[in-house]
Structure 1
Amino acid sequence: MPVTYLSPAQEARYAAFPEPLSADDLARHAYLDATDRAVIAALRADHTRLGYAVQLATVRCTGTFRQNPADVPPILVTTLAQQLAITPSDHLARYQGSDMRWLHTVDIRARYGYVDYPDPQRKRRFLRWLFTRAWLGTERPSLLFERAVIWLRAAQVLLPGITTLARDVARVRDRASERVWRMLTRDLTPAQCQQLDTLLVVTPDATLTPFEQIRRLPSMPSSQGLLDALNHLTHIRTLPLTPALPPRIPHSRLHALARVALTAKAQTLARMSAPRRAATLRAALHSLVALAHDSILDLLDEVLSALLAEATKAGTQTRLRTLHDLDTAALCLAEVATIILDPAIAAADVRTAVSAQVAATTLTDVVARVRALARPPADTTYDALVDRYRRVSRFRPRLFATMQFDALPAGKRVLHAYQYLQRVEKRRSTTFADAPLQVVTSAWRPYALITDKQADRIGYTYCVLDQLVTAIRRREVFVTPSLRYADPRLGMLHGDAWEAARAQVCRALNHPADGEQAMAHLTEKLAHAYATTVAALPTNAAVTITTVDGKPDLVLSPLERLEEPASLIALRDQVATLLPRVDLPELLLEVHQRTGFLDAFTHLNERPPTVERLAVSLCAILVGDACNIGLAPLISPTIPALREDRLRWVQQHFVRSETLQQANAQLVEAHRQLPLTQQWGHGEVASADGVRFVVPLRTVHAASNPEYFGKERGITFYNLTADQYSGLHGMVVTGTLRDSLVLLSVLLGQQTPLHPREIMTDTGAYTDIIFGLLWLLGFQFSPRLRDIGGARFWRIDRKADYGVLNDLATHRIQPQRIVEHWDDMLRIAGSLTMGSCHIETLMRTLQRGKQPTKLARAFQELGQVIKTLFLLNYLNDEAYRRRILTQLNRGEGRNRLARVVFHGQRGELRQRYREGQEDQLTALGLVVNAIIVWNTMYMERVLDHLRATGQPVLAADVARLSPLGYAHINVLGRYTFALQEPIAQGAWHPLNTTTTSQS
């Protein structure tokens, strides 16, 4: 692999002092302890003492010595001189000209344990670590380079030349890739390799290669679509080498290889070297089976749910249509019953009295009508199920023949019933007398059973399929291979792996390994929180506790609107007026010119780009996705960078999920370093919120919700917004958000330089388990509460006196549950932190049917403690409540900006597959972040201009400005991908002072 993968910013940062050198940096690297002072005090002259200290701080801070010891930030020299009580003057100039500086580097090496990069023992350790990292992960080379620098500095290895280290990182990474290729191809025969190659050859009667055909998975949510998906899986399984893969290959490596094959053109795959091509195709075929499994299970869930809902509705309608006739007959029979029950009429005269009231023929007709219309409640629905059974029969035989499942203990009853249906599928005359009935729930009993021991074929089949779908959702039944429905235990730390990782996990999460110690700390913390809140209640005008129907009622007054001073309104108007007017394409090019974020889009083969004006092509693709207009309006046959074939080629080879995330990480980092950004936050807080999109296509990867999508179907893009306004990460949720597990996936999946520790959400569907798990992972969960009156307050000490809160704190924690399961809870947190398991799948294992497991109950108990701590703080601290509101408003404002950009095709998302949906909306988030970066940079220039012209700029007002404005940005209709020459040379757009002077 070439070594030209480092960006100019990385090259500038290598072995250099941070800019600016912060107080934390100085405290970490420039503080001289007693040992340092003793060594330096032994030196004679001030210039040698200061020079030695500077060299020591330099190697600690940069990882190497500098050719010119005086080439250091002045603040570093001042800090060291103050500690040594030396006046800096010209001491470093004298020191630079002396031979002592060379002797001092030798002494520092020996005394403090620094070694040169070629040191055999240390370099072997480094290369082993580097290979392991490259083998287990798929980090891009530039990120692996950064990790390598961190390792070398921690191991006190002096950094080599940048080219040397970059070459070693590239070589080790190539070795790891080649090892994967060898392991995937060493058991292949020449004939099998030839079979794989034929997948990339277009047959005379087709326009696509066989491989391009099989990677298009059916997604139509219908019985026929499900049958097509099952047939598609059968076809994939007939291809060479689909089943088992060699063991011990990291899943991340297989996924990365498959991702390349599933997104690249066949011609690109065909041009790969033979070993890489065979390995890539083999990994892709394995991944296609997993994707096909997931698609089938999604379709089965969708089709069966729709069919059962339709049958229930049809049964109800059928019942309603017969009610009029049934009511007439029932009234007639009521008259007869009244006569029979009348004590004044003798038993012998009853028949005569009835005949006098109702004719015999009429009564016969009425009885017949009641017998025809009066049905048990299940019967009308059963008839509707029978009427629709042909749709099930369309896919049922293929489903039973194709899909093989396994189960956790809680899912064994469903699995046995499913396997029974597989066995009897060809036995049309079976009586179902031996069907396992444990799967039949009380809700299904009227439909599935003829007698207590005899099952009905149609009703039982419906019951088993319904229970199968339910068990799959809970991950009690799973399929292998699969990305989302695999064995939930895969990737969990256990046995020796957990024993080896326990101490590291506890240190990383800052939790004790002993459950008793953890519980004692929580008990003390909860008692202190209650005491603090109770003490503050008399002066807390926002909180009122009354008694309603003999029960305490807690009322928290809503926050009053925060008034905007006239100075803030004026400043906001001035900033909006002075911002330059710009087209979106030019904005993206300028942001790239200043940050280099488009350099993150690397070629699939990781070779350096050989095309001119690649940034222009990338900007066009991003505009097409973000504005939802496609490539057609952006194509220009006269501009090579905007020709259709060029744009399609760049889109295929450079724009991928991982490159979008890497580019986003660079933008977030660039924005973080802007001084104005620090006025809004430090990246320690983030909010999660969803923005919904209608998907006007029939696809299993969209769901209905009349409240948000009307008669259409749609998706939710659940995304994380930092307090600095940057978007960190997002993921697609089919339909609307149903539970808070997605929050974990978004939070742990983000790969930007920001690491928020406090997470804010709207009221939503949070649970006690999420409170506990997020706290265990080191996060503070802070949801906005619409109605705190219904919240439960929990206590650990049943005898504790909480004053006026006693009547509210009536629910008691069972601390022993937490203590008993503390190690398992840490193990789950460690597995999630290390990214070795699928988050949603793992969390589903905490349920057994509708009942939580004992481990889930322990998480609930922990979550109830953490939630009570949150509630007490929420009551007690108005500033805390306002911070939550402010951050949520930032996320909502960012979503509004995204809506403005995503204007094409009525703002509807026209992507059929989840991967396409996620990539397009990630591109939208990237463009929104670029707008935020551009706005922030120019807002700084506007504020500087206002200060220079003598206008007041208050820090409190600056903190309330927002970089989400868009009135000055044209996103419609004009797409010119060219930077003005002065801007391309590094100049800035002039501020829009014309409007100001005219006004």
Structure 2
Amino acid sequence: MTALERTIYRRMKRSYSTKELIEAYTPTEEERRFVSAMTRTAQNQLNLMLWIKLFPCLGYFPALSDIPAPLVDHVRQALNLPAEVVPGYDHDRTLYRHHQVVREYYQILPYGKEARRVILRTLLRAVRTMDNPADMINAALEELIKQRYEMPAFSTLDRLTGRIRTLVYGRICRLVQRRMTSDIQHGLEALFEVQLPSHRSVFSQIKLVPPSPTLSHLKVWQDRLAWLMELGVMEPLLKDIPPAIIKHFAAEARALDASELQEYAPAKRLTLLACLIRQTQMSTQDDLIDMFVKRMSTIQVRAKEALQLARDAQAATTAQLVETLTHVVETAVEDKEQDDATVGRHLREILEKRGGQEQLLEQCQQVAASLTDEYQPLMWSFYKSHRRALFQLVRSLPIRSTTQDQVLITSLNFMLTQENRRSLFVPDTLDLSFASEVWQRLIRVKRKKRTKLVRRCMEVCIFAAVADELKSGDLAVEGSERFADYRAQLLPWAMCEPQIAEYCQEVGLPSDAHTFVAQLRERLTEVAAQVDAAFPGNKSLEITAKGEPVLKRLKAKAVPASRVALQEALRHHMPDRSVLDVLWDTNEEIHWTRHFGPISGSDPKLAHPDERYVITSFAYGTNMGAAQMAKHMRRIVSEHEITFVNRRHITLDKLEAAKADLINRYAQYDLPKCWGDENVAAADGTQVDLSENNLVSSYHIRYGSYGGIAYHVVSSLYIALYSHFLNCGMWEGNFLIDALIGNTSAIQPKVIHSDTQGQSTALFALSYLFGIELMPRIRHWKDLKFYRPKKETVYKHIDILFKDTIDWVLLETHWTDLMQVALSVRVGKLQPSILLRKLGHESRKNRLYQAFRELGRVVRTIFLLRYISDIPLREQITKTTNIAERYNQLCEWIRFASGGLMAENDPEEMQKRVRYNVM
């Protein structure tokens, strides 16, 4: 049975505060007149008024005996009834009549066959996108409320949900089993056989996590993908099954051991295994693409480093090459009377003595590259060790172009046909328009009056271009998840069009392309004119003769004296407490552990589950681990019990739901409101040490160690709203919109501060479409371009800042594409980080990138103009960050709490209130 507290099913509270009773349960004059007109006896008036006040809060009629006594007393006193009047009915007929009167009063339909059909239809839709019974029950409750039906008993909802899940999941499992041949079933069952000498089943190999992207690991992961594909293609078996159910089954199978999975019925066991294999095949393919992209990036970095080293060693190498050239010329002069064959043989001997032709050729390329910034000729020496593995990888991936431009795909296919070729040159049959001028100059050369392609440079160039276009989205891999064609994931425009008006009204944007562009142009024109007019009085900004804007440093404010008083007050009223005690107290108050439980969705069958959940949260939340936690708990719980709960009962989604409960309760207290504004938040990343043998872990020169980035979004109320782990090389800002969408708490900030990583033209554009005001701190901001609204617009004081003009026609043309992306992200069809990673790489093919870049230029120019001017933006920030005022408010609150309320009858309760508010 699903736990009641996991759902939104309304129930009466155990106790009510005086404020709640007065505000929510005091009868109005209209209600008094209605009750007086419907019944005459004092007892029935009390009964009916209780129904009138409770029904809109609960949605159903509870038993009169379950109504708390304080609530009954409050309503009785409000009706001026004597104390001996108690709720109750002499006849059931009167009870049913009162129920019907209340339904008619609130225009609510009674629960019956039609309401049952509504529940069943809703559950059948929900089971295709939801895997948790509590979520399905919530969907049914929302639909009943929407259609104004009375709520049934919770046991009825739980029973219907269980039947629908059993029916749908049972049909799916039997369908998948029928689609499997006996050979496929036998092959899958063989995965559970224990192998010697490891004494582990093959099933455990499916759940391996990706290692670091080294060349050896790349080869191992290629073999792994080949092995997974030998298990069979699972798409035909899982055809027409909703993706949400496939992911749920795969997550359930991943959380189980081989012995635990074998206890399932054959149909379900085989279905779970098929879903896990299918998801693992996709994730392994994505991991391989990640490794390929990172290896090509590493090759490029090493080539640049080699270029710098070549410059340092240029003098010695140049002297050696000049000496070799001198010897060659002298030999040619001395042997001028010899025939060409003899001269050629002598020259070849000289070249062999000097290290060989290939070595001398590489040295010449290094010296030539050192004279320029061209590192491309040096990439071959780092690429050649990867050549075989990269060819094998590209052959195994079904790479497709996402645009009509097939030039790179044609070049890739041609290169694959030349894999076994060892000659330095290949016929010039390729269109190299995808390559840069440097690459084209290196690849295409003339030999004997004919143009040929240098094979080595061609291979490196094509592999580098494939990696770049996979990142930009111009190339996609069929069957992939992270590198699929994101255009296919967009919501069809036919489904977007009916939602445009509502969405634009919600975020405050015009609902048509012309007005959208006109409003942007008007805003840019207005802000630029204001900044230009106010420039003579701007004491913070200077513009140099070269046209560079320079902002003067702001003066720091003195530390307020009230800070010391606050610190002393906090020390006095907040004794040191164990984190484990705090976790347990918050769970007693909020019961956030109700979100944890088996992945299947059923109730936990553990002894004292809340205690186990709190202990497990502490063990992994503090990074202590299960072994150390069990040791310090003096074996009250074992290591196996902690790891079992973490593996089987706690997932990322459940942790996010529990965190949202904590944030929502935190936001209800008054004290955090003194610290900041709930509409403001800041985003930044912090380096965290991780194991080197991990695909997320990487070495970053800025941090000087291996690890990842813990990306946090923190409210100005001083509570973390979102956290995510990233690779050190990732652009952190790509995950900013993910953070805001993934934040399901009541605190929904609209103004986001960040560092340079939290901004780009694409991010400015997407933030604007979501009604978010992005306020990043930009490094080297003076190097950014300012864009004027029109070519003919000239400013008196700041005209030198503007370097280009906005293409308004492009924006208006692609307005539908911009809104399609925004709505697709809103409904969850497209992940913002995936889109921003692709839009973060410049692409001449991708018109969507160009539209986002143009919109971002407008929004960023407006932001920069506001930033460099003395307009209310900076004054408002100063006011909202008045630290002295906030400290004084905190001190007053603590003096009030300690001096006034501590002397009341319940000091322990007040201590608890103080503790939670300060925390």
TM-score (norm 2): 0.80
Matches of 1:555 and 1:717 in 2, distance apart? 32
What is the CA-CA distance between 1:61 and the residue it aligns to? 4.6
Matches of 2:396 and 2:36 in 1, distance apart? 80
What is the CA-CA distance between 1:73 and the residue it aligns to? 13
What is the DSSP-based 3-state SS (H/G/I as helix, E as strand, rest coil) of the residue aligned with 1:432? strand
Instruction: Identify if the C-alpha distance between structure 1 residues 686 and 847 changes in structure 2 by more than 3 Å, giving closer, same or farther.
Output: closer
The equivalent residue for 2:574 is 579
Instruction: State how many pairs are aligned.
Output: 862
What is the DSSP-based 3-state SS (H/G/I as helix, E as strand, rest coil) of the residue aligned with 2:723? strand
Higher relative contact order (CA 8 A, sep 6+): 1
What is the CA-CA distance between 1:437 and the residue it aligns to? 4.3
Partner residue of 2:647 out of 644, 652, 672? 652
Q: Kindly report which structure 2 residues correspond to 1:228-627, keeping only aligned pairs within 5 A, or say none.
A: 228-314=220-306, 317=309, 320-321=312-313, 323-324=315-316, 326=318, 375-376=364-365, 377=367, 387-388=381-382, 390-409=384-403, 412-426=406-420, 432-433=426-427, 436-438=430-432, 439-445=434-440, 447-451=442-446, 453-499=451-497, 501-502=499-500, 505-506=503-504, 508-522=506-520, 543-549=539-545, 551=547, 553=549, 555=551, 558=554, 560-561=556-557, 563-566=559-562, 568-627=563-622
The equivalent residue for 2:339 is none
Partner residue of 2:217 out of 220, 225, 239? 225
The equivalent residue for 1:734 is 727
What is the CA-CA distance between 1:799 and the residue it aligns to? 8.2
Query: Is 1:95–1:101's contact at 8 Å kept on the other side of the alignment?
Result: no
What is the CA-CA distance between 1:494 and the residue it aligns to? 1.4
The amino acid that maps onto 1:398 is: Q
The amino acid that maps onto 1:90 is: N
Query: Is 1:796–1:813's contact at 8 Å kept on the other side of the alignment?
Result: yes
Using the TM superposition, name which of 431-440 and 645-654 deviates more.
431-440
Matches of 2:197 and 2:203 in 1, distance apart? 15
Using the TM superposition, name which of 294-303 and 698-707 deviates more.
698-707
Matches of 2:296 and 2:685 in 1, distance apart? 27
The equivalent residue for 1:3 is 2
Matches of 1:880 and 1:852 in 2, distance apart? 42
Query: Is 2:444–2:454's contact at 8 Å kept on the other side of the alignment?
Result: yes
Query: Is 1:196–1:240's contact at 8 Å kept on the other side of the alignment?
Result: no
The equivalent residue for 2:688 is 693
The equivalent residue for 1:755 is 748
The amino acid that maps onto 1:6 is: E
Matches of 1:882 and 1:674 in 2, distance apart? 24
Q: Kindly report which structure 2 residues correspond to 1:118-137, keeping only aligned pairs within 5 A, or say none.
A: 118-120=112-114, 122-137=115-130
Instruction: Identify if the C-alpha distance between structure 1 residues 464 and 148 changes in structure 2 by more than 3 Å, giving closer, same or farther.
Output: same
The equivalent residue for 1:359 is none
Partner residue of 1:944 out of 897, 905, 911? 897
Query: Is 1:311–1:388's contact at 8 Å kept on the other side of the alignment?
Result: yes
Residues 269-313 of structure 1: CA distance to partner in whole angstroms, max 9, x if unpaired? 222232222121111111111111111112222223323433454
What is the DSSP-based 3-state SS (H/G/I as helix, E as strand, rest coil) of the residue aligned with 1:249? coil
Q: Kindly report which structure 2 residues correspond to 1:706-717, keeping only aligned pairs within 5 A, or say none.
A: 706-708=701-703, 710=704, 712-717=705-710
Partner residue of 1:628 out of 610, 623, 631? 623
What is the CA-CA distance between 1:114 and the residue it aligns to? 1.5
What is the DSSP-based 3-state SS (H/G/I as helix, E as strand, rest coil) of the residue aligned with 2:219? helix
Instruction: Identify if the C-alpha distance between structure 1 residues 116 and 639 changes in structure 2 by more than 3 Å, giving closer, same or farther.
Output: farther
Query: Is 2:683–2:753's contact at 8 Å kept on the other side of the alignment?
Result: yes
What is the DSSP-based 3-state SS (H/G/I as helix, E as strand, rest coil) of the residue aligned with 2:514? helix
Instruction: Identify if the C-alpha distance between structure 1 residues 947 and 799 changes in structure 2 by more than 3 Å, giving closer, same or farther.
Output: farther
Query: Is 1:447–1:459's contact at 8 Å kept on the other side of the alignment?
Result: yes
Residues 675-697 of structure 1: CA distance to partner in whole angstroms, max 9, x if unpaired? 43444457433221111123352
The equivalent residue for 1:172 is 164
Matches of 1:293 and 1:776 in 2, distance apart? 33
The equivalent residue for 2:757 is 764
Instruction: Identify if the C-alpha distance between structure 1 residues 19 and 173 changes in structure 2 by more than 3 Å, giving closer, same or farther.
Output: farther
Query: Is 1:554–1:788's contact at 8 Å kept on the other side of the alignment?
Result: no
What is the CA-CA distance between 1:42 and the residue it aligns to? 12
Instruction: Identify if the C-alpha distance between structure 1 residues 473 and 885 changes in structure 2 by more than 3 Å, giving closer, same or farther.
Output: farther
The amino acid that maps onto 1:106 is: Q
Instruction: Identify if the C-alpha distance between structure 1 residues 445 and 673 changes in structure 2 by more than 3 Å, giving closer, same or farther.
Output: same
Tell me, yes or no, if structure 1 residue 666 matches structure 2 residue 658: no
Residues 755-782 of structure 1: CA distance to partner in whole angstroms, max 9, x if unpaired? 3333221243512332221121232222
Instruction: Identify if the C-alpha distance between structure 1 residues 456 and 864 changes in structure 2 by more than 3 Å, giving closer, same or farther.
Output: closer
Question: Sequence identity, in percent?
Answer: 19
Residues 44-97 of structure 1: CA distance to partner in whole angstroms, max 9, x if unpaired? 99999999999667544543456669979999999x9xxxxxx96528999989
Query: Is 1:506–1:512's contact at 8 Å kept on the other side of the alignment?
Result: yes
What is the CA-CA distance between 1:639 and the residue it aligns to? 5.6
Matches of 1:331 and 1:466 in 2, distance apart? 35
What is the CA-CA distance between 1:714 and the residue it aligns to? 2.2
What is the CA-CA distance between 1:229 and the residue it aligns to? 1.0
Residues 809-843 of structure 1: CA distance to partner in whole angstroms, max 9, x if unpaired? 78654444333222221111000011112323334
Instruction: Identify if the C-alpha distance between structure 1 residues 766 and 611 changes in structure 2 by more than 3 Å, giving closer, same or farther.
Output: same
Using the TM superposition, name which of 67-76 and 852-861 deviates more.
67-76
Query: Is 2:12–2:58's contact at 8 Å kept on the other side of the alignment?
Result: no
What is the CA-CA distance between 1:947 and the residue it aligns to? 3.7
The amino acid that maps onto 1:4 is: A
What is the CA-CA distance between 1:314 and the residue it aligns to? 4.0
Matches of 1:41 and 1:14 in 2, distance apart? 25
Matches of 1:5 and 1:645 in 2, distance apart? 29
Matches of 2:51 and 2:802 in 1, distance apart? 60
Matches of 2:830 and 2:778 in 1, distance apart? 31
What is the DSSP-based 3-state SS (H/G/I as helix, E as strand, rest coil) of the residue aligned with 2:411? helix
Matches of 2:639 and 2:383 in 1, distance apart? 49
Matches of 1:72 and 1:579 in 2, distance apart? 34
The equivalent residue for 1:836 is 829
Query: Is 1:255–1:283's contact at 8 Å kept on the other side of the alignment?
Result: yes
What is the CA-CA distance between 1:387 and the residue it aligns to? 4.8
Residues 473-511 of structure 1: CA distance to partner in whole angstroms, max 9, x if unpaired? 112222122231112123211154334554554455454
TM-score (norm 1): 0.74
What is the DSSP-based 3-state SS (H/G/I as helix, E as strand, rest coil) of the residue aligned with 1:156? coil
What is the DSSP-based 3-state SS (H/G/I as helix, E as strand, rest coil) of the residue aligned with 1:443? helix
What is the CA-CA distance between 1:221 and the residue it aligns to? 2.7
What is the CA-CA distance between 1:21 and the residue it aligns to? 5.7
Query: Is 2:426–2:453's contact at 8 Å kept on the other side of the alignment?
Result: yes
Query: Is 2:736–2:758's contact at 8 Å kept on the other side of the alignment?
Result: no
Uncovered stretches (5+) of structure 2, i.e. residues with no partner = 327-349
The equivalent residue for 2:771 is 778
